[in-house]
Structure 1
Amino acid sequence: MKFVLNIDKTFRELLLQEDTDQDKKITKDDQGPKKFVLIDEKTKQEQVIAGTYYLSNLLQELAVLKEGKTEMGEVDLARIQENPVDRISRKIRDNYWNELTRTIDKKGLAQILEDEKTSNEVPTLYVAATDKKGVAYFQDLEKELQNFKLAILPINYSMEYVATLNTKPGILALALEQKVYSLQGVPFVVPGGRFNEMYGWDSYFIGVGLLIDNQLEKSMAIVENFKYQITHYGKILNANRSYYLTRTQPPLYSSLIIEIVKQKVPNQEWLKSHLDAIILEYNTVWMVLGNRLTETGLNRYKAEGSGMPFEVEPGHFDGILAPYAKKYNMPVRAFEKEYLERKLVDADLDLYFVHDRSLRESGHDTTDRLINRCANLNSVDVNSFLYKYEKDIAYLIATYFGNTFQIGDVRYTSNEWEQKAEFRKEKMNELCWNEAAGMYFDYDFVHQEQFPFEAATTFFPLWAGLCTENQAKKLVELALPHFIKTGGITGSTKASSANVSKDEPQRQWDYPFGWAPHQMLLWEGLLKYNYLDKAQEMVYRWLWLITINAVEYNGTIPEKFDLEISSHKVFAEYGNVGTEFDYIAKEGFGWMNASYQYGLQILSAELKIKLGELIAPDNLF
């Protein structure tokens, strides 16, 4: 049934009555009567809308109609009554992915350049000199639009050169493709609404969500941009901004390729170009001894560059900088500026920031597991990812290239990559596996000992498939219970976080916070080792949390949760993206969206029904 309403009038009256805290949302925290009467302007028929969930749905539907700028409009009561699981999934599929999609071209450049991270008076777009097509396209566009400055990165630029860009930061160009009438930017999907850059490991999880929602071309576009970054920037970047040229991200390129070829039989030339890029990245980014490869034979995160990371806000590192400011007899803010611009250099502080930059490269920014030690660790996460690379490359060569793959004069066999994976598995069992704890720990190769911080990354080997059946059993039966809260698994255990000084800030990747990638990798690992009932339980816990949060808080889909209180109300560094919006959540958050769609693929029909009944007692239509 549809009701004809005066949109502005109904919208104002609804907010006045129900949005008592005036945050432009209707949530469980509001103290209104939680009952609103709709009157059809034509028939004068009345309909009572009662309860937080239904009232917030009404607000959202009215917000969409208001964008049409018409006085009268129809509200579909079926949309207000919609099952919450169906509503969340539909909005992700039909709305959120599109809202998070960007292109770097004539059509999309204004949004990309004019955002809160752009500090130059005239926004700057950087394009690599090696991308001749891109250079020509953006030179013409600069003349036409005159609203940005084009800068060309020289061939074989140094990290010292990259440091000079900190005073003139900008966005980095991504791939272009020839359409019928013009070149257009290859699309990418950003993590959340305030972002306008493509993030490395976020993009893998987003790509999985896109494939589930039948957006194959957009998922394929992500890997095209991965390949472009390796070709022109030497690595898959932390994100495509100038100050991220020193950092890569967790290696998940091959995993997305595997997911794509499951859905579509690949074109041989397309697949070869990506396998070329994956092997190039493996060899040049990850397997250079002394950089990200260590003498143990295992890998670490190790960002290039020096000094303080450019992207943090003033004051973020005050606790670290204060002793050094005192050492140089300077106010902290003045010291920070001098140090950031590299006008003042301190070797001890530089070493701290080697670890900090590497921590940010890991994607876990930040966690006490990695602070002031990241570059000293053969971490479980990166070696699990690289084991999966080696297995994926072996699989692709065996399945699609007849067991041999040629790059220039180098001939690779699938067996060679299987051997690389087996070597890594043996070294991880030797250095990272702890039989007594039933967990994998990062190995500190400097001090030649395990660092016994209990982190959710201990489950990554389960996802990668490198565990024995005994190790999988211990991870599930001994380790997992230490991480489980009502709404999923925490980034670390409470015991590990309890050892951290109370003076330290609460790190967002540690206890009690829960993140979508940790859940998704755990689920896949549980399924891989046939822990089917446990997988159902863990999926339900996480989807329950997303659903109840959306039901009670106006459709909010946040970046992360506090699992101790089962809430998006997170009080930790960097806040919580996706929680600030007016009237209607338009994009959710990339990997949170993906986790919902992926979880629904796994969840049994019975549990889906149970999930759909999650409407708080006051929510009666």
Structure 2
Amino acid sequence: MDFLDQRLSNLFIDLQRSGLWEDEKAIADSVLLRSPAETYMAYTVRKSLGDMDLRAFYDEYFRPVRAREANYQTDPAHGPQEHIEALWPLLVRDADDPDLQSSRIALNRPYVVVGGRFQESYYWDTFFTLLGLIRAGRMSVVEDMLENFADAIERFGFVPNGFRTYYLSRSQPPFFWAMVRAAAKASPDPKAVMARYLPALEKEYRFWTASPRTYEGLARYWDAMDTPRIEMFATDLHWQAHAAKTPGLYRNLRAACESGWDFSSRWLADPDDLGSIRTTRIWPVDLNALLLCHETYLAEICTAVAPERAALYRETADWRAQALRERFYNPETGFFHDRLIDEDALSPVVSAAGLFPLFAGAATRTQAARCTETMQTRLLARYGLLSTDITSGQQWDAPNGWAPLQWIAIHGLRRYGYNAVAERIKSGWITACEDVFAETGKFVEKYNVLDDRAAGTGGEYELQDGFGWTNGVYLDLVLEGSAQSWLGEVALAAE
């Protein structure tokens, strides 16, 4: 894969260092109007002649990526559902032109973007967005995205964080199994869907269960590179002096991006210091719960279409479920936590990630009961679920709540019969979405779940609207019938 930032060399660095762009991702995503070689040669010649107008040069040789939905004005007559229905066509893109000179990884089929600054598909965002697309009856886009992801797994061995070349060193929380399951449930021939994507599911499973992402038997987040992120290059350059004294700093920043929780006190030794990040030295409870789901679904598919392999996945699922119960649960807090690798001890952070073992069905009944109590005391807010109860200024901490974490918590609680508290999260979250929509005419990426009518704050960039996974989760929750767990009732785990 051709990395345009490498071919543009010093030009890319000078653009990033210029301070002319508020969002450095806009530089990384720009489309070249001429070849990289011609562009770089012109830049070298002009720079050798003395002072140059870098912005004018950019305007001559580049085209910025523009969000089609950015100027969309909500019809005052539209309620939230009508707004989302009108927005879907603006978030769906045609198949890419493979000859386009940019950092985009060309997709062969139509796809859905997140919105705002994120004008490409992202991995775990897509699953939650597809929940809404299925509710809206837009199955052709769902099928196209499954094919795009299966193509990516065949090509790269995994689904990239997002479909840009600079994301090819990492993935994101593995939800492809859930995408396949959702499509199979909505299909008239679910067995055919499962058989079609079994090879891709098995190949992706090998990616997550191989070194370095599996370390001493348990999964962790990782990144193949230990350099400044291309999409946040200027920001990361500020860490150079600290990185020189802190081996692996950039890899840990990147690994937090693979987690999707970029950034959170979950990954920090000091919750007030991003420089203390240690993502690769943590076994995340949510990642291991998702791999349990992956193993369980592989066993289900193989039972139907490849029975000779089903027992292997059942055994690995049983092992991982036991590991979650024994190594990630803290009886003192009554909650599931991340595990610190170097200390071989539980992290003290209470986060919404601790509800993933309920979603995966790994918790015992007693653990689920204690977990529900702790969640209500530490994380439950008026308008949904906090990501953590730590106010650090990072966007995956208090006071913010995020659509995917609400959905996982709701379905995890339902698996164990805690429907009333699941309904509290659901109704609070829907209220937050509808109140902010009433104020702004927008659905946004995160919400302040402590404050009525407040969008979320914090992070490395301005609050984005669009917004794929909020649209999807909102529609799925509003349009669902009876309150059922997405994965069905949990089998009784050993106490």
Q: Where on the TM-score scale, by shorter chain, does this alignment land: which range?
A: 0.7 to 0.9
Bigger Cα displacement from structure 2, 198-207 vs 440-449:
440-449
* Equivalent residues of 1:560, 1:568 under 8 A apart: no
Q: Aligned AA for 1:98?
A: P
Q: Percent identity?
A: 26
Match of 2:240 among 302, 321, 346: 321
Q: Aligned AA for 2:214?
A: L
Matches within 5 A, 1:297-376: 297-312=217-232, 314-315=234-235, 318=238, 320-323=239-242, 346=244, 348-371=245-268, 372-376=277-281
Q: Which residue of 2 is the match for residue 385 of structure 1?
A: 290
* Equivalent residues of 2:380, 2:386 under 8 A apart: yes
How far apart, CA to CA, are the structure 2 residues paired with 1:357 and 1:459? Answer: 24
Matches within 5 A, 1:417-428: 417-428=313-324
Residue 238 (structure 1) aligned with residue 161 (structure 2): yes
Q: Aligned AA for 1:375?
A: T
Q: Which residue of 2 is the match for residue 513 of structure 1?
A: 400
SS in 2 for 1:391: helix
Q: Aligned AA for 1:272?
A: A
CA-to-partner distance for each residue in 1:54-110, whole Å, 9 max, x for gaps?
xxxxxxxx9689xxxxxxxxxxxxx73x6xxxx211221x222221111233xxx4x
How far apart, CA to CA, are the structure 1 residues paired with 2:438 and 2:88? Answer: 20
Q: Which residue of 2 is the match for residue 261 of structure 1?
A: 184
Matches within 5 A, 1:520-559: 520-553=407-440, 555-559=441-445
CA-to-partner distance for each residue in 1:534-574, whole Å, 9 max, x for gaps?
22211100001111111122x12111112232344444123
**1:304–1:323 distance in 2 versus 1, CA, 3 Å:** closer
Q: Kindly state the Cα deviation for residue 403 of structure 1 after the two structures are TM-superposed.
A: 2.4
* Equivalent residues of 2:228, 2:236 under 8 A apart: no
Q: Aligned AA for 2:226?
A: S
Matches within 5 A, 1:204-603: 204-266=127-189, 270-283=193-206, 285-289=207-211, 291-295=212-216, 297-312=217-232, 314-315=234-235, 318=238, 320-323=239-242, 346=244, 348-371=245-268, 372-398=277-303, 400-401=304-305, 403-404=307-308, 412=309, 414-494=310-390, 497=391, 506-553=393-440, 555-579=441-465, 588-602=466-480
**1:204–1:63 distance in 2 versus 1, CA, 3 Å:** closer
* Equivalent residues of 1:560, 1:576 under 8 A apart: no
**1:317–1:559 distance in 2 versus 1, CA, 3 Å:** farther
* Structure 1 unmatched runs, 5+: 1-61, 66-78, 110-137, 143-147, 150-168, 177-185, 325-345, 405-411, 501-505, 580-587, 606-621
**1:281–1:593 distance in 2 versus 1, CA, 3 Å:** same
Q: Kindly state the Cα deviation for residue 427 of structure 1 after the two structures are TM-superposed.
A: 1.3
Q: Aligned AA for 1:288?
A: A
How far apart, CA to CA, are the structure 2 residues paired with 1:89 and 1:508? Answer: 27
* Equivalent residues of 1:558, 1:568 under 8 A apart: no
**1:535–1:220 distance in 2 versus 1, CA, 3 Å:** same
* Structure 2 unmatched runs, 5+: 1-71, 269-276, 484-495
How far apart, CA to CA, are the structure 1 residues paired with 2:147 and 2:113? Answer: 15
How far apart, CA to CA, are the structure 1 residues paired with 2:155 and 2:436? Answer: 42
Match of 2:92 among 62, 84, 101: 101
* Equivalent residues of 1:301, 1:358 under 8 A apart: yes
Q: Kindly state the Cα deviation for residue 353 of structure 1 after the two structures are TM-superposed.
A: 1.3
Q: Kindly state the Cα deviation for residue 246 of structure 1 after the two structures are TM-superposed.
A: 0.2
Matches within 5 A, 1:46-195: 80=77, 87-92=79-84, 94-105=85-96, 109=97, 138=98, 142=99, 148-149=100-101, 170-174=103-107, 176=108, 186-195=109-118
Cα RMSD after superposing both structures: 2.3
How far apart, CA to CA, are the structure 1 residues paired with 2:198 and 2:294? Answer: 11
How far apart, CA to CA, are the structure 1 residues paired with 2:406 and 2:218? Answer: 25
Quick check: which has more Rg, 1 or 2?
1
Q: Which has the higher helix share?
A: 2
